[in-house]
Amino acid sequence: MLDLLPEETLREVVDLLVRLVEAAGATVIFVGAAAAFARFLLVAARRSGADGFIAVRLFLGRFLALGLEFQLASDVLRTAISPSFTQIGQLAAIAAIRTALNFFLSREIEREGRTVAEAAPRAVPGAGGG
C-alpha cells in the first residue's frame, strides 16, 4: 500500500495544528480578558452598579466558552493519530472536565443574560419622551 504521507510527517503536521489551535484558544481567552478588564474599568469609573458588572461577566464568559472550545479541539486533534489507551483516557478526562466547565459557564451566561434583559426596561424609566 502506498503511503501518501508517512506517519511521522503526519504526526509533525498534526502537532503543528494542535499548537495553532491551542494558541488560537489562548488568544481568544486573552483578548476577551483584556477587553473585559477595559470594560470593567469603564463600569467601575461610571459606578454603574451591579448590572454593569454582570454585563462584563457575560462578555468575559462568552470569550471563555469559546476559548474552551478551541482547547478541547486541540485535545481531540492531539489524539487523532494512532492514540494509545492512555491518551484516550486522558482525552476523555480532559473532555469531560472542559465540557462540564463549558456547560456550567453557558448556563451562567444564559441566566445572567436573562437578568440583564429583565433589568434593561427598568433601567430607562420615562424614556418614552411622551
**Burial class of residue 72 (count of CB atoms within 10 Å of its CB; 0-12, 13-18, 19+):** buried
* 33 CA to centre of own chain: 11
Instruction: Verify that 70 and 48 share a domain, yes or no.
Output: yes
Is residue 22 domain-shared with residue 78, that is, in the same domain? yes
* Residue 1 lies inside a defined structural domain of this protein: no
The answer as to whether 31 is a domain residue is yes
Given this model, what pLDDT does residue 63 score? Answer: 94
Q: Is 68 exposed, middle or buried (0-12, 13-18, 19+ CB in 10 A)?
A: buried
Quick: pLDDT tens for 50-78. Answer: 778 888 888 998 899 899 899 989 988 88
Q: What is the pLDDT of residue 7?
A: 79
Q: What is the pLDDT of residues 7-56, one digit of tens each?
A: 788 889 999 999 999 999 999 999 999 999 999 999 999 887 777 888 88
Inform me whether the pLDDT recorded for 129 exceeds 50: no
Residue 1 has pLDDT above 60, yes or no: no
Q: Same structural domain for residues 15 and 57? A: yes
Q: 39 is in which domain, residue-wise?
A: 10-82
Looking at the structure, tell me whether residues 57 and 30 fall in a common domain: yes
Give yes or no: residues 17 and 31 share one domain: yes
Select the more confidently predicted residue: 93 or 2. Answer: 93
Same domain, 14 and 78: yes
Q: Are residues 28 and 89 in the same domain?
A: no
What gap in Å lies between CA 66 and CA 38, rounded to an integer?
Answer: 19
Same domain, 73 and 15: yes
**pLDDT per residue over 71-116, tens digit each?**
989 988 888 877 888 888 888 888 888 888 888 888 888 887 787 7
Q: 78 and 15 in one domain?
A: yes
